[in-house]
Amino acid sequence: MSSPVLKSPLSKSLRIALIQLKAGADKAANLAKVSKYIDDAVAGSKTKLDLVMLPECFNSPYAVDQFRNYAELIPQGETTNALASLARKHKIFIVGGSIPELDPSLDNKIFNTSLTFSPEGEIIAKHRKTHLFDIDIPNGITFKELVTLTGGDKATVFKLGEFGNVGLGICYDIRFPELASIASRSPYNSFAMFYPGAFNTTTGPLHWHLLARSRAVDNELFTVLCSPARDVEGGGYQAYGHSLVADPLGNIIAEAGEGEEILYAELDKDLLPKAREGIPVHYQRRFDVYGDFVGEGRAKVSDL
Ligand SMILES: O=C(O)CCC(=O)C(=O)O
């Protein structure tokens, strides 16, 4: 199939800041830190920022036995309110990392949930981590989210205002290429996948960059990964850090270190059509050979 002349799914270049911070046990202090970092990111940006992103579990320790203690209702909880007012204050989109969510309508189950806010402070996306991080690597890492969390049951794609559509996944979700495929294909045609994620010092060096670049190249879109900072003094779970942005050709165009940091990047609207025109895999899929799970009525996609 020949490639059509392409209009970019990203209508205007997007300027973003990723806040790589470490969270402690004091939720109020974590929220105060987020507020200060977002103020600093906006003030320190050379051009007007469009979007700020936070890491997975930015207002609680990343620990199975703590999720219920920190869980909040959505949208009534204090973290939702705090992020909504920061989005309004700075007139920016906020991809709000993730928080433990308590859902009384589902037997008080706990989810690992990511919210995105519009510059007016409205919730425009809600993704519940679909694939729970449940692994056991001898002499490496054992982590069992399934002990206290329930997995979400939908892929999440939404409209980021005038910029275009994006998809959202959380951490371990990046290992499952299907969510990014759903977001990138018709009828969604997203320009980016956002993944708040807290990889660790065992699997981070192995796969963090590889997965970001793979999802980007598979789908010819941007991937944006925001991690907590490493917490050497605090002990407990050690996040990998290295928040990063990969472009639609798989190049890493911005990358943080391991400590607390604000990472700036620009998603250039012209890169995406160039990638898809040059290497037109986007139009060469052989659904007659392997079928297609994306499209009207097939995949379960959040309609928020
Ligand atoms: O997939 C990995 O290696 C790490 C995943 C993870 O840390 C998470 O889902 O929170």
Q: Whose CA is nearest to atom 4 of ligand 1?
A: 199
Residue 138 has a pLDDT of 85
Q: What is the CATH number of the domain that holds 100?
A: 3.60.110.10
- Catalytic, out of 22, 27, 56, 145: 56
User: Is pLDDT at 1 greater than 50 in this prediction?
Assistant: no
ipTM (interface predicted TM) = 0.96
> How far apart are alpha carbons 298 and 300 in whole angstroms?
7
List the one residue out of 255, 230, 294 whose CA is nearest residue 21: 230
Burial of 168 (0-12, 13-18, 19+ CB in 10 A): buried
> How far apart are alpha carbons 110 and 128 in whole angstroms?
10
Residue 131 has a pLDDT of 96
User: Is pLDDT at 288 greater than 80 in this prediction?
Assistant: yes
283 within domain boundaries:
no
User: Is pLDDT at 296 greater than 80 in this prediction?
Assistant: no
Which amino acid does the sequence have at 274?
Answer: K
Ligand 1 surroundings by CB, under 6 angstroms: 56, 133, 171-172, 175, 198-200, 203, 207
160 within domain boundaries:
yes
Percent of the chain with pLDDT over 90: 83
286 within domain boundaries:
no
Q: What's the CA-to-centroid distance between 93 and ligand 1, angstroms?
A: 25
Which amino acid does the sequence have at 282?
Answer: H
Question: Using one digit for the tens of pLDDT, what is the confidence trace for 230-279?
Answer: 987 877 788 999 999 999 999 999 999 999 999 999 999 999 999 999 99
Active site residue 129: yes
What is the number of structural domains in the chain?
Answer: 1
> How confident is the model over 220-231, as a mean pLDDT?
96
> How confident is the model over 99-116, as a mean pLDDT?
97
Stretch among 98-107, 142-151, 256-265 having the lowest mean pLDDT: 142-151
302 within domain boundaries:
no
**Average predicted confidence (pLDDT) for the chain:** 94
193 within domain boundaries:
yes
User: Is pLDDT at 126 greater than 90 in this prediction?
Assistant: yes
Residue 5 has a pLDDT of 55
Q: Whose CA is nearest to atom 1 of ligand 1?
A: 172
Active site residue 56: yes
122 within domain boundaries:
yes
Question: Using one digit for the tens of pLDDT, what is the confidence trace for 147-203?
Answer: 899 999 999 999 999 999 999 999 999 999 999 999 999 889 999 999 999 999 999
Which amino acid does the sequence have at 85?
Answer: S
Which phi-psi region, left, alpha or beta, contains residue 260 (left: φ > 0; alpha: ψ -120 to 50)?
Answer: beta
Residue 203 has a pLDDT of 93
Residue 62 has a pLDDT of 86
Q: What's the CA-to-centroid distance between 8 and ligand 1, angstroms?
A: 31
Q: Is the dihedral of CA 204, 209, 215, 216 positive or negative?
A: positive
Stretch among 6-15, 136-145, 277-286 having the lowest mean pLDDT: 136-145
The pair of three-digit structure tokens given for residue 118, joined into one six-digit string: 């519009």
Question: Using one digit for the tens of pLDDT, what is the confidence trace for 53-79?
Answer: 999 999 998 888 899 999 999 999 999
User: Is pLDDT at 38 greater than 80 in this prediction?
Assistant: yes
How many residues make up the chain in this entry? 304
Ligand 1 pocket: which of 174, 203, 214, 225 to mutate (most atoms <8 Å of CB)?
203
Q: Whose CA is nearest to atom 5 of ligand 1?
A: 172
Ligand 1 pocket: which of 133, 226, 243 to mutate (most atoms <8 Å of CB)?
133
Q: What's the CA-to-centroid distance between 4 and ligand 1, angstroms?
A: 37
**Can you give the residue range of the structural domain that contains 257?**
14-276
CA 142 to each of CA 63, 133, 237: distance values in angstroms, whole numbers, following the listed order: 12, 10, 11
Name all contacts of 63-69 with Cβ < 8 Å and 24+ positions apart: 63/236, 63/237, 64/143, 64/144, 64/145, 64/147, 64/148, 64/149, 65/148, 67/100, 67/110, 67/112, 67/148, 67/149, 68/100, 68/102, 68/110, 68/148
Residue 304 has a pLDDT of 52
Residue 6 has a pLDDT of 67
pTM confidence score: 0.95
Percent of the chain with pLDDT over 70: 97
298 within domain boundaries:
no
User: Is pLDDT at 37 greater than 80 in this prediction?
Assistant: yes
Active site residue 159: no
